[in-house]
Amino acid sequence: MLSVNRVIKFLWIISLILFLLGLLYGYYILPDAVCFKFDPNGFPMDYMPRKHAFYIFSGICGAFNVLILLIEKLILLIPNRLKPVPNKIYWLSTQETQDGLNFVLSNWFYIFLTILNACLLVVFYCFAKVNSNFQSNIVQYFWVFQAVTIILVLWILYLPVRLFISKIFIR
């Protein structure tokens, strides 16, 4: 189980590095003033300095990563018998399944953060694309926001389904 956990944490670190590199590259290619507010047709209305956009995106990424890791640590501190998990009888039956429950929960949070960092990178790419080339329209990228929302909701819904399955896949 430890090797899978290391791979998942490694992927999370890679997602942070890729987000940081994308953010730095985006800062380099963005004009001095970037649009952050668009009219209903998708055309620019209000602008801000690019360094503010850089700080906002990096702050959002940092805040999400810190808060979700804090939640993960707090949930792992709760005794297993008090956790509201489906199929609780199975997950509390032996010490191995109790350790497996913590393993599943921890990995779910790290993969969630990896997905979230990737989604933030894609959103920043769309933001940079619209602002570096004013022939692009924000309306072209509405599907990205819908796709990001669907991906995040599906991953959130995956946890109860995974916990309902009464097997530890990795030994």
Query: CA–CA separation, 162 vs 168, rounded Å?
Result: 10
Query: CA–CA separation, 166 vs 1, rounded Å?
Result: 17
Per-residue pLDDT tens over the stretch 42-67: 777 888 898 998 999 999 999 999 99
Query: CA–CA separation, 20 vs 121, rounded Å?
Result: 9
pTM of the model: 0.86
* Domain segments of the chain as ranges: 2-164
Q: What Cα–Cα distance (Å) separates residue 17 from each residue in 13, 14, 27, 61, 126? A: 6, 5, 15, 12, 19
Per-residue pLDDT tens over the stretch 64-104: 999 999 999 999 999 988 988 888 888 888 888 888 889 89
Structure tokens at 39: 């009219």
Query: CA–CA separation, 83 vs 150, rounded Å?
Result: 26
Query: CA–CA separation, 93 vs 26, rounded Å?
Result: 51
Tell me which H or E stretch contains 87: none
Quote the mean pLDDT of the chain.
Answer: 87
